[in-house]
């Protein structure tokens, strides 16, 4: 049963078509990765899925209901977003930041106070993201990677079954990249969540995603399992670079290596 | 200062009135937009208002002398005129004696010494008459309300303070430094004036025709001793100030003028 | 490290500040250009206007007709401006956002001037036109600041500066059209003048101050998220558009009613919310009510200075708030 569906989505603004005739489905316990060159419309697509950008045509269904009929809070209870964070100009601790994820559940959203349950959930996700020693620190004292984990923690605190992640591994070093996606994987497996990850890192996507969507210039060029999508000819057409696709020695899945004309010869 | 002055510009209403009063009205080639008395003054070319006269206009009218009041704070303007070799006469009477002096001086500049003398003499006569009449009467404690909101009054350096003294009154704010201080409502209430002078009408129109909130319970209001006097007779240090003096004296000491 | 803000912490802080406000109201009522007997005055205040406390008729009038209304107006103006400042800072994600910088105060001033010049007699036109002016200035700032990526705080502040300077020129222009006698009193008013506590407008100012602070506090949790980023707030469930409208309208009302009553009292909307956040944290659930109460105390004290330093003459209260506020602000900037 699909949690989130998009049918024939087209998004245009400023006389440009960002996304054209795109359909996708997010099912529980599945990670879908969207890959493609810059300007392919990946981020725009992601923004439309929780209502931030309005499509010019097509429909988006959340739990089988049209997105535009739902109110802001009920959407936020079902969909959580991990995106590039804005500059923080006011001091806020990690705990306060993560508690922000409980907003959609507040019975009195205007001037409510966090409940016992909110605090427990926040503590749990802070533990899950290994931020426990940092929970009292101010957000702008943290490194880029640590802040990204806090963002992840906040999204997890919403307990939303649908996670939308826009380049979540951009600022992370190697160890944290894997950890973060492992968290997503965990959520999907344990809580039957669905995740949509926009990423530049094709190999990471290949390792973690169940489903891959390849976009170019706003259109879905190819979709399927990583094995199906990551074909050399397809990739060469989309990215306009020669690639070599072989089997990853450890995971057995596809591994993509770009082949350049000029090389350092050791 | 040239020997014979045919073209003079006045940059203050009181100075314009003095010019006409000494018979030099025909020599006036420029005035400010506030110079509205006597009526003949209105046909003279305007050069701006008292605070921002137009240097170009003034120069274009080729005056030999420009009359300026220091109250307008035109130091820079004065300097610019002097740079153009235009003679400048600056005056700012703080009291009646100062007014008489200014009349004499302007009379001299315009070659109307005789008329000026005669004028000053008759003004002095009227002043003395008033002062004599009220000498026997106990002075009335008066509050001069320049504006109600915010509350402004006449201070030590104000021209009107001298007038009030001569009219047989003690201004409750006579010792406050400055010319037009903003006054505390509490102190106004506590001063309990026996009479209130409201300068209104004239070029002020209907403004300032109500007593300030703080004074509504004062003895002055309770005894109906609130006197509206034409603003132009009180704040322009010129010949009509004597009119103001007489009006105030008559209002404050009616039985002295039977 | 600052602890998380809880309901308990908020109630305690606000209770303390409310007590400070009450103390300020009572103690500053005893100070003025005319000395009043302390015991008798306290008795009269405590008994809410009993005439059998030993005050003369005049002393009673000074206390209850002039001083207390003025102090209450100061509280209303201070509370309103501080609340509006806190609201703008949260909404625009910029600790420097302030009714002045954004041109809202000048918009309200132009509105008030229009009311004075064209509808002078009817005093109700002043707050109404002040609010209209503030709202129009807000809209102007908003339209100017709209960029392709939406209105970033930086563009908003820049647009605000443009609108402020434009409206300042309008004010100067109108001032030159006024006659000399009016200019003096008007210049004084522009710098903040709390001496005009005419009857009906005082309850209006107090009501607006309280209502405005309450409404913004009731949106505090949304503002907390908005403060972190508009996108974040949207994703987490805040109705960004609605909250934005509420803050702008309420803040315009607050600024409009303050300016209509007392001209432009500066620095309150900048310094007081800053101090509140520094001492209590950036959580708006505590910092907005704290700013409202603190702003009231601040302006009461500043106005007491304004009306006693050169007694019986008076200074515009805006001069005092600037003298206190500017160095304080520089100090706060250095600490940050």
Q: What is the residue-wise DSSP string for B115-145? A: HHHHHHHHHHHHHHHHHHHHHTSPPEEEEEE
- Please count the residue pairs, one from chain A and one from chain C, whose beta carbons lie less than 8 angstroms apart: 91
Q: Are strands B140-147 and B152-153 parallel, antiparallel or unpaired?
A: antiparallel
Output B85-93 pairs: Cβ under 8 A, ≥24 positions apart: B86/B58, B86/B59, B87/B1, B87/B2, B89/B1, B89/B65, B91/B15, B91/B67, B92/B237, B93/B14, B93/B159, B93/B237
- Tokens 């891959």 sit at which residue? A212
CA distance A253 to chain C (A): 34
**In this complex, do C235 and A80 lie within 8 Å of one another by their Cβ atoms?**
yes
- Ranges of chain C with pLDDT below 70: 1-3, 121, 147-153, 177-185, 197-199, 336
Tokens of C149: 């990526």
Tokens of A49: 């899925």
Chain A residues in contact with C228 (beta carbon < 8 A): 85-86, 88, 90, 92, 97, 100
Chain A residues in contact with C335 (beta carbon < 8 A): none
Tokens of A105: 């559940």
CATH homologous superfamily of B138-257: Nitrogenase molybdenum iron protein domain (3.40.50.1980)
Q: How far apart are CA B117 and CA C80, in angstroms?
A: 62
Chain A residues in contact with C225 (beta carbon < 8 A): 100, 103
Residues of A with CB under 8 A from a CB of C: 14, 50, 52, 72-73, 75-77, 79-81, 83, 85-86, 88-93, 95-97, 99-101, 103-104, 106, 109-113, 136-137, 154, 158
Start-to-end Cα distance in chain B: 48
* DSSP H helical ranges for chain C: 7-29, 38-46, 57-61, 68-91, 104-119, 125-145, 153-177, 180-190, 201-218, 220-226, 230-236, 240-262, 268-280, 284-306, 317-335
Do C76 and C209 touch, CB atoms closer than 8 A?
yes
Residue C153: give the domain boundaries.
Answer: 71-335
The answer to whether residue C303 sits within a structural domain is yes
Residue A179: give the domain boundaries.
Answer: 4-88+160-258
Q: How far apart are CA B22 and CA B111, in angstroms?
A: 10
Chain A residues in contact with C282 (beta carbon < 8 A): 90-92
Q: What is the pLDDT of residue A153?
A: 94
The answer to whether residue A129 sits within a structural domain is no
Chain B residues in contact with C180 (beta carbon < 8 A): 34, 49-51
Do B208 and B228 touch, CB atoms closer than 8 A?
no
Cβ neighbors of A125 (< 8 A, separation 6 or more) are A98, A101, A153, A154, A156, A157
Q: What is the pLDDT of residue C160?
A: 82
Do A12 and A190 touch, CB atoms closer than 8 A?
no
Do B24 and B116 touch, CB atoms closer than 8 A?
no
> What number of other Cβ atoms are within 10 A of residue A25's Cβ?
16
The answer to whether residue A105 sits within a structural domain is no
**In this complex, do C185 and B176 lie within 8 Å of one another by their Cβ atoms?**
no
Q: What is the pLDDT of residue A164?
A: 95
The answer to whether residue C64 sits within a structural domain is no
Measured in degrees and rounded to the nearest 5, phi and psi for residue C264 equal -100, 105
CA dihedral B178, B179, B184, B185 (to 10 degrees): 170
Closest alpha carbon within chain C to A115: C6
The answer to whether residue C271 sits within a structural domain is yes
The answer to whether residue C154 sits within a structural domain is yes
Total structural domains within chain A: 1
Residue of A98, A115, A128, A135 whose CA lies nearest to A191: A128
The answer to whether residue C111 sits within a structural domain is yes
Q: What is the CATH number of the domain that holds A231?
A: 3.40.50.300
Q: How far apart are CA C285 and CA A109, in angstroms?
A: 12
Residue of C87, C71, C4 whose CA lies nearest to C291: C87
Where is A165: in which H helix or E strand?
Answer: strand A162-166
Dihedral-angle region of residue C237 (phi above 0 means left; psi in -120 to 50 means alpha; beta otherwise)? left
The answer to whether residue C19 sits within a structural domain is no
Q: Is the per-residue pLDDT at B136 higher than 70? A: yes
Q: Is C93 touching A (CB cutoff 8 A)?
A: yes
Q: What is the pLDDT of residue A111?
A: 73
Tokens of C1: 């490290």
Q: What is the CATH number of the domain that holds C92?
A: 1.10.3470.10
Q: What is the pLDDT of residue C1?
A: 39
Secondary structure (DSSP) of B38-106? SGGGGGSPB-B-SSSB-HHHHHHT--SEEEEEGGG--HHHHHHHHHTT-EEEEE--SSHHHHHHHHHHH
The answer to whether residue A266 sits within a structural domain is no
- Tokens 């105030």 sit at which residue? B248
Q: In what order do the strands lie in the sheet with A65-66?
A: A16-26, A4-13, A57-62, A65-66
CA B165 to chain centre: 15
Average pLDDT for chain B: 89
Q: Which residues pair with A211 in a beta bridge?
A: A32
Angle ∠(C301,C307,C310) on CA atoms, nearest 5: 120
Chains near B (3 or more Cβ pairs under 8 Å): C
Q: Chains A vs B: touching, with 3+ CB pairs under 8 Å?
A: no
Q: How far apart are CA B203 and CA A265, in angstroms?
A: 96
Residue of C256, C245, C246 whose CA lies nearest to C218: C246
**In this complex, do C236 and A14 lie within 8 Å of one another by their Cβ atoms?**
no
Residue C176: HSE in the Cβ half-sphere, 13 Å Cα cutoff = 10
147-166 of C, contacting A, C-beta below 8 A: 148
Q: Is the per-residue pLDDT at B83 higher than 80? A: yes
Q: What is the pLDDT of residue C3?
A: 62
Q: What is the pLDDT of residue B76?
A: 80
The answer to whether residue A97 sits within a structural domain is no
The answer to whether residue A96 sits within a structural domain is no
Q: How far apart are CA A176 and CA B247, in angstroms?
A: 93
The answer to whether residue A132 sits within a structural domain is no
- Per-residue pLDDT of B145-176, as tens digits, reads 988 878 899 999 888 999 999 999 999 999 99
Secondary structure (DSSP) of C190-259? HT-------TTHHHHHHHHHHHHHHHHHHTHHHHHHHTT-HHHHHHHT--HHHHHHHHHHHHHHHHHHHH
* DSSP H helical ranges for chain A: 42-49, 72-78, 94-99, 116-128, 144-157, 174-191, 202-208, 226-229, 232-239
Of the listed ranges B16-20, B92-96, C273-277, the least confidently predicted one is B92-96
* Distance set, CA B176 to CA A197, B152, C108, C242, C330 (Å): 77, 12, 34, 54, 36
Burial category of C1 from C-beta neighbours within 10 Å (exposed 0-12, middle 13-18, buried 19 and up): exposed
- Ranges of chain A with pLDDT below 50: none
Residue C58: DSSP 8-state: H
Of B52, B187, B189, the CB nearest to C176: B52
Of C2, C217, C237, the CB nearest to A104: C237
Q: How far apart are CA C318 and CA C269, in angstroms?
A: 12
Chains near A (3 or more Cβ pairs under 8 Å): C
Q: How far apart are CA B181 and CA B197, in angstroms?
A: 16
Tokens of C166: 């434009």
Tokens of C131: 């609010």
Dihedral-angle region of residue A250 (phi above 0 means left; psi in -120 to 50 means alpha; beta otherwise)? alpha
In chain B, what percentage of residues exceed pLDDT 90?
51
CA distance A189 to chain C (A): 23
Q: What is the CATH number of domain B8-92?
A: 3.40.50.1980
Output A233-238 pairs: Cβ under 8 A, ≥24 positions apart: A235/A202, A238/A36, A238/A37, A238/A214
Q: Chains B vs C: touching, with 3+ CB pairs under 8 Å?
A: yes
Whether the bond into A228 is cis, omega within 30 of 0: no
Total structural domains within chain C: 1
Where is A33: in which H helix or E strand?
Answer: strand A31-35
Where is B198: in which H helix or E strand?
Answer: strand B195-200
> What number of other Cβ atoms are within 10 A of residue B177's Cβ?
10
Give the three-state DSSP class for A265. Answer: coil
Residue of C162, C186, C39 whose CA lies nearest to C110: C186
Cβ neighbors of A115 (< 8 A, separation 6 or more) are none
pLDDT band at B218; cut points 50, 70, 90: very high
Higher pLDDT, B10 or C312: B10
Ordered by start, the domain boundaries in chain B are: 8-92, 138-257
């Amino acid at each position: 049963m699909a949690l989130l569906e998009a049918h024939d989505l087209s998004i245009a603004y400023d006389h440009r078509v960002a996304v054209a005739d795109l359909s996708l489905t997010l099912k529980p316990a599945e990670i879908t990765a969207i890959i493609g060159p810059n300007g392919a419309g990946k981020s725009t697509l992601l923004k439309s899925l929780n209502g931030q950008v309005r499509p010019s045509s097509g429909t988006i269904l959340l739990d089988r209901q049209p997105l535009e009929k739902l109110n802001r809070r009920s959407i936020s209870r079902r969909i959580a977003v991990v995106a590039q964070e804005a500059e923080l100009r006011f001091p806020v601790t990690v705990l306060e930041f993560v508690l922000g994820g409980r907003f959609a559940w507040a019975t009195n959203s205007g001037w409510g106070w966090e409940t016992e349950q909110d605090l427990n959930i926040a503590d749990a996700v802070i533990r899950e993201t290994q931020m426990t020693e940092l929970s009292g620190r101010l957000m702008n004292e943290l490194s880029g990677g640590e802040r990204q984990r806090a963002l992840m923690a906040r999204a997890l605190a919403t307990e939303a079954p649908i996670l939308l992640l826009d380049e979540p591994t951009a600022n992370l070093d190697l160890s944290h990249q894997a950890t973060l996606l492992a968290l997503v994987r965990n959520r999907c497996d344990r809580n039957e969540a669905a995740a949509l990850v926009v990423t530049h890192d094709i190999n990471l996507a290949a390792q973690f995603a169940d489903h891959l969507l390849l976009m170019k210039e706003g259109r879905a060029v190819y979709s399927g399992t990583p094995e199906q999508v990551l074909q050399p000819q397809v990739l060469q057409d989309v990215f306009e670079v020669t690639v070599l696709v072989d089997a990853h020695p450890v995971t057995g899945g596809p591994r993509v290596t770009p082949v350049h004309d000029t090389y350092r010869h050791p | 200062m040239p020997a014979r002055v045919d073209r003079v510009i006045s940059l203050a209403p009181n100075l314009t009135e003095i010019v006409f009063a000494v018979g030099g009205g025909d020599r006036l080639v420029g005035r400010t937009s506030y110079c509205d008395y006597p009526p003949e003054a209105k046909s003279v070319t305007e050069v701006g208002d008292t605070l921002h006269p137009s240097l170009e206009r003034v120069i274009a009218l080729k005056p030999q002398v420009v009359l300026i009041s220091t109250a307008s704070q035109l130091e820079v303007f004065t300097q610019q005129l002097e740079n153009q070799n235009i003679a400048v006469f600056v005056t700012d009477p703080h009291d009646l004696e100062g007014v008489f002096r200014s009349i004499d001086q302007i009379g001299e500049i315009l070659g109307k010494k005789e008329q000026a003398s005669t004028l000053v003499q008759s003004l002095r006569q009227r002043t003395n008459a008033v002062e004599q009449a009220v000498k026997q009467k106990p002075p009335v404690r008066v509050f001069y309300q320049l504006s109600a909101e915010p509350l402004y009054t006449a201070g030590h350096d104000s021209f009107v303070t001298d007038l009030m003294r001569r009219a047989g009154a003690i201004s409750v704010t006579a010792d406050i430094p400055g010319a037009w201080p903003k006054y505390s409502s509490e102190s106004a209430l506590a001063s309990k004036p026996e009479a209130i002078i409201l300068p209104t009408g004239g070029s002020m129109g209907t403004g300032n025709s109500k007593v300030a909130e703080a004074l509504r319970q004062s003895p002055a209001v309770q005894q109906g001793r609130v006197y509206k006097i034409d603003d132009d007779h009180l704040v322009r240090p010129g010949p009509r100030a004597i009119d103001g003096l007489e009006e105030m004296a008559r209002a404050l000491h009616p039985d002295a003028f039977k | 490290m600052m602890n998380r803000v809880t309901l308990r912490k908020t109630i305690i802080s606000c209770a303390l500040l409310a007590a400070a406000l009450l103390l300020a109201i009572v103690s500053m009522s005893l100070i003025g250009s005319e000395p009043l007997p302390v015991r008798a005055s306290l008795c009269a205040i405590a008994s809410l206007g009993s005439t059998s406390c030993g005050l003369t008729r005049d002393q009673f009038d000074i206390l209850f007709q002039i001083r207390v209304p003025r102090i209450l107006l100061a509280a209303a103006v201070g509370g309103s401006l501080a609340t509006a400042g806190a609201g703008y800072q949260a909404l625009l994600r910029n600790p420097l956002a302030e009714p002045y910088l954004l041109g809202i105060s000048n918009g309200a001033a132009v509105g008030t001037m229009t009311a004075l010049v064209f509808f002078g007699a009817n005093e109700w036109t002043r707050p109404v036109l002040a609010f209209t002016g503030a709202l129009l200035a807000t809209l102007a700032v908003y339209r100017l600041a709209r960029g392709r990526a939406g209105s970033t705080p930086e563009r908003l502040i820049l647009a605000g500066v443009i609108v402020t300077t434009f409206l300042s020129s309008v004010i100067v222009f109108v001032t030159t059209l006024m006659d000399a006698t009016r200019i003096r009193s008007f210049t004084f008013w522009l710098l903040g003048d709390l001496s005009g506590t005419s009857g009906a407008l005082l309850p209006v100012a107090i009501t607006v101050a309280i209502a405005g602070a309450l409404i913004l506090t009731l949106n505090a949790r949304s503002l907390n998220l908005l403060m972190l980023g508009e996108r974040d707030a949207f994703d987490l469930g805040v109705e960004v558009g609605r909250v934005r409208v509420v803050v702008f309208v309420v803040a315009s009302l607050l600024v409009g009613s303050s300016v209509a009553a007392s001209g432009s009292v500066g620095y309150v909307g900048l310094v007081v919310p800053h101090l509140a956040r520094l001492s209590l944290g950036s959580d708006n659930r505590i910092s907005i009510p704290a700013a409202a109460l603190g702003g009231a105390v601040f302006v009461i004290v500043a106005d007491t200075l304004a009306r006693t330093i050169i007694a019986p003459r008076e200074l515009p209260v805006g001069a005092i708030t600037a003298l206190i506020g500017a160095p304080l602000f520089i100090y706060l900037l250095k600490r940050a």
